[in-house]
Structure formats: C-alpha cells, structure tokens
Structure 1
C-alpha cells in the first residue's frame, strides 16, 4: 500500500470510528441541502447514514468493483464533467460498446426514474444493479465474477472497517446488497444548487448577465417552449422528493430519428418501446435535467449531438433529418414526435442569449466539492 493510499485508508477508518463512537443510538441523517431544495426520497429499507455515504464514496471510485478490476463507476462519471464522461457512448470494462450516453449525476437523488428509458428503475438502488450486473451490454461486469469482487473487498482492511461501520447490525456485511445501498447513499449526496441561476432565484439579481436573463425569458416562454419538458427545480419533468408522490413516468420522442418513415429508431436504441412493446413508445426517452449542461456534452440519449449550439439547431428545425449512414430519415416528419417539437426561428442574438442562460446553470462548486471527489487521491 503506497503512502497516499495508506493516508486515505487511515483517514477513512478514523472518520468511521469517530462516527460510530458518538453513541449507539442513531441520529437522523443531517442533509446538507442547497437553499430551497426539498429532502430527497429515500427508500425505507436504506435509510441514509454518514457511514454509508463514506463507504459509497470509496466504492464509487474503486476499479476493483468491476469484474476484471479495470473500471469504476467514476470511469464513466467524472466529477469535473458533472459526473458525465465527454464521450458519445462509453465502453464497458471488457471493451463492449454501451449504446447510450453516460448522463451527468447532479441532483440524481430527485429523479423519478433512472437510465434513459426504463420505467421500472425508480430508485438509485434499482439503477445500480444495471451497471453492476447487466450483461447486455456489459458495463462493470460484476455479475459473473461476484464472488471474486466481494473477496477483493473482504481482503482489504479499509473495507472491513467501512462496511462494519455502515452496517453495524450485520455479522457479515460485505455482500452485494450493501454495495448497492452504499453506492445509492453516496449518489444522493451529489447535490448541485449554487449556480448563477440558483443565486438569482435566491434573490441575487446580479447573478445573471443581461444575456442570461433574456435567455431565461426565452427558455420559459411560449416561442421556444423548452420549459414544457425541462421544468421544475432541476429543469426536467422527471422529479421526485420525500414529500411528492411518484407521478406517471414521462418520456418523450423529440424527432431525433425516423428510420422507416413511420417513426422507427435504431434497433439498439428504441427507448421506452424496448420495455413496453407499445408502438407509440418508439423513440421515447426520459427528459434529462439541464443543470451543469455545459459540462455534459455530447447530448441526447446516444450522444449524437456534439454541442449546445447544435442542440439549438435541432430544436429550431423541429427535429433532425439524417441524410447519410444506416439511419437515414427525417425525424422532423416523425408521426411519433412530441408536437411541441416544431420549427421556430431565433435570431443570432436570441441564440446567444439562450446559450448564456444554459451556461448560467453551471455550478462550479459542485464539480470541485471535495466531499464528492476521489478519496484515493487524498
């Protein structure tokens, strides 16, 4: 163990020992919520604790969690990119292509569903099972080598202490259920709420530039109509908190593809249709939040649009016409497209204003937050 890893180990063990020494009676978890943020929904069988968060942070950054020991959650979710990875689509630990873009994780605690189009995954615990255990496509590849992965953790004195502190009532706490619970607990602390836009909403009228203010008016106005889908505190209609009921899941087809003239999407990326087999669900995907959107390029479920400027081109055209390659077709004419996605015009100034507003959603404190950083680098 090198000196840096030893220091991380010592710091983590000291932290959990101090936490567990504060008394046997557990106190409610002390959320550090940005101003105006409600308390996130947390499943009853995985109550938050500081010990789980500490453990989850180490697991999130540990490549030993993958089957072949080469990839961590953080490999596709980098903090400096708001926990995305700047790739159109990533590759799994064995090099297999993953067909969908790695989304950013800012405020992921508040989503109603997870991944791009699975209506069943309504908690972070359920979502974690996909990258850990799924084989088509294979991501971390833990499923076929589960015993080997868990043995790696059991042989590490750091994890012996961290798991015992996080799950003190269990005699043998190092198992897959607790790995999932700890990862989910850590991800619920990925809270972003100090962008210029946030400060403006909190009363600092100087936080937004004049251009960003004009862009905000466009964004929430009836010409651009962005707000119909990108609404609420996190600029997505996928939202859930402790005090809100889980509403009907909302997925949208934006006219990105129209392969057969009837609205078809590429076979490996059909969206909600993959789970429902309802033809009306072809090409429908979850609406992504827009916080820190300038850091999470490229865009769309398949990363096929490189820049925010090109995203504006897409929406002002009312969809996309693909003129070459295997997916030729005019998405603007798709019969399955949301009717709100329709052509409209923006002047050069208005386009710049909208971009300025989207840039105001960037929270630099979030991407530099030491509580979310790689503990093995400390």
Structure 2
C-alpha cells in the first residue's frame, strides 16, 4: 500500500514517502524497464534491489531522524542514481558525488570542491551516519532545516551545480525538463512512486533516503561496544592506550578559575556523545572562524558531521577537517581544542570551550594526545568505502 503524506509545519516541507519493500513488494521483470537495464547493466537490478531499508543497526544506537522519510530500497536506489548523475548540473560535469566521494567517507580531499562556476564556499562535509543524529539541520551553518531541503540546495547554487535561475543560469524547472527527457528517470520514478511525474520533493526524498542509508558500524569501537553494558566500561578488544583515550574522550575536564585543566578527561563527548558521536544540536562555534573565499570572519558554523570515519583505519585522512579545511590531522584537531583563543568578534563561541569565561587550556601531555588519537581511529570502519550499494551506478 502507499504510505501517507506527511506535512511538517516547522519546515513547511511535504515528504512523499516511497513504498517500503515490506508493503507487498512484487519484483518487476527487468524488460519492463529497458532504459534502466541499458544504462546501468548489472549495477542496478530492479528485480533484486540492494538492501538499504533493513541494514543491521546495533542495539545501542538509539538516535534516528528518518521518521518522516523512512529509508526504503526503492527510494534509496533512485537516490543513488541522482547522487551520482552529472545530468543534475547545468553543464553535465558535476554530481553530488563529485564533492562527496565514497573513497573518502563521502567527503573531498580538496579544501574546496570544484563546481560548475567556481569552488564551494566551505569544505564538503562527510556524509556518514547522518540518519543517526539528533541534529537534523544541514550545512555547517545549519541553514537547511532538513536533509531533504539540503539535498537540492547545491543543485540550485550558481557556483556548485548551476540551476540557480540567476546570473544567467537555468532554473530548477529546466532540470525537471531535462530529467523528463531521460528514459531511465521515467522508469525509475514510475518504479518508486507509481507515476513518471518528477518533482523536486520526490528528488529530495530519494536523495535523502540514499544519504541516510550510508552507515558505518563495523569499526573496532563497535566490536568492543557490543561486548560491554555501556561506554564507560573498558572494552576488552581495546589496547590500554585506546581505553585511556576513550576515558579521556568521555570524561568531563576539571578546570581551575583560569580555564586551565587540572584533572578529569577532555570532555569531547559534551559535543560528540557516544555511541553515535554526532553533534549536539545545542552547540556554538568551535573557535574556527575563518572563511575560504574573501576576507573577514564567519562565526555561524555550528554543525559538524559524526566523528565516525574521521580517518580510515590506517590513519589516512579522509580529507581536511572543519568548514575551512584548516585541520589536516587528528593531532592538529586535538591541538586546536587544547588551547582555545577567544578571537575578537566571535560572539558565538560555544560556552563549553570557555570555562569561567576563559578559553580552555587542556594541558595534554604527549601520552594523552596519542591515546585520544588511538581512540578516534577505532571509530573507523571499512565497509562504507567499498560497499557497491553506495558506489557509482554508472560505472558498469
């Protein structure tokens, strides 16, 4: 049966839910969709869809922001095509995946990503476990009220994908016209929604389902967390150094009256709580206020991706960190939080970083730094980098 329509008054966005596979799904012979078969070959089989809807989620993971637009196999399949399709840019050269690359935890190794008319204004955020977070707003400055809204904003950006309707660009309606002329989209939208009609809301829902399906729970951390009752217990599969780093991460610091740490841990979990390691929605600026293009300061950046897959399991970075890409290693990230300078004009600095009104000084020694790095590396898995269901379907 067709699921209901949901209207969220807070964001004024209509979510048209796709059919779940559980809802009397009947496999359709592939010869009913010749354009899909001709375009994608074996990478997309509509008679045997990849599993997006029923992936294994550990029982200790409790956050889930997908209720209004649940992940379905059909919807995420369409979303995968849209995510990788360069037809969604005005000059057919850029896709969502151009800036969010599977090999780099769906981020970019460039500080600024290339668009059709220049480069992005901020570093491309990693798209790992976006479903498992309390924070539902998107972009570093949280200007998108939901992932659904966010998903088409780069398409309508002059610099990124070029369907802005300004500065000589075609508008979004021109993209809809283009997609309507592509045979595999007629078939895919009919397959997912029961009609060939293509709308922005349907595009948004499918893209959001695919992005929310990208999950990473095969890390050393997850193997250890499954063996204990809570995060505060030592993980039996961890080294002594990794357990020390975990304790430092989870334990709040003790400060003196000048903002200097005198005991406890370093309190990373105050903003990035285990086991999801997502960003607390009530978080201010982290002290990095630079801009990529132009001059001045930018204090609006208060969102961050999950800390999962900050680096690969071998410690290789998935690209620079922070909205400016100014941090290029875990050591540098820890160093930034080790000494917080209250810059003139930064009226949005998170108060957790300013105990007693002073910029925190964590006074970490080398052993503590190395322990935190060792722990952060346990948050990285391997499957997210290689799983075919998140790969480019046009590479057949």
Please indicate the TM-score interval, normalised by the length of the shorter structure.
0.7 to 0.9
* TM-score normalized with structure 2 length: 0.73
2:162 is equivalent to residue 141 of structure 1: yes
1:190 corresponding residue in structure 2? 214
The alignment covers a number of residue pairs equal to 320
2:282 corresponding residue in structure 1? 250
1:270 corresponding residue in structure 2? 299
The CA deviation string for residues 337-363 of structure 1, in whole angstroms up to 9 with x for no partner, is 334321121221211111111111111
2:185 is equivalent to residue 159 of structure 1: yes
* TM-score normalized with structure 1 length: 0.76
Gap change, CA 1:266 and 1:358, over 3 Å in 2 = farther
Gap change, CA 1:122 and 1:31, over 3 Å in 2 = farther
Which one of the candidate residues 365, 372, 378 is aligned to 1:354?
372
Q: Which runs of 5+ in 1 are unaligned?
A: 20-28, 239-248, 260-264, 272-283, 320-329
1:78 corresponding residue in structure 2? 101
Gap change, CA 1:313 and 1:41, over 3 Å in 2 = closer
Contact 1:258 1:334 (8 Å CA) reproduced: no
Q: Which moved more, 1:342-351 or 1:57-66?
A: 342-351
Which one of the candidate residues 52, 72, 84 is aligned to 1:61?
84
Q: Could you say what the CA RMSD is over the residues aligned between the two structures, in angstroms?
A: 2.8
Superposed counterparts of 1:1-378, under 5 Å: 9-11=40-42, 15-17=45-47, 30-36=53-59, 37-38=61-62, 40-42=64-66, 44=68, 46-95=69-118, 97-111=119-133, 112=135, 113-118=137-142, 121-135=144-158, 138-144=159-165, 145=170, 146-168=172-194, 170=195, 172-203=196-227, 205-221=235-251, 222=253, 223-238=265-280, 249-257=281-289, 267=296, 269-271=298-300, 284-294=301-311, 295-319=317-341, 331=343, 336-341=348-353, 342-378=360-396
Q: Which runs of 5+ in 2 are unaligned?
A: 1-35, 229-234, 254-264, 312-316, 354-359
Contact 1:65 1:72 (8 Å CA) reproduced: yes
What secondary structure does 2:46 align onto? helix
Q: 1:147 offset after TM fit, Å?
A: 4.2
Contact 2:272 2:278 (8 Å CA) reproduced: yes
Contact 1:82 1:104 (8 Å CA) reproduced: yes
Higher helix share: 1
Q: 1:129 offset after TM fit, Å?
A: 2.7
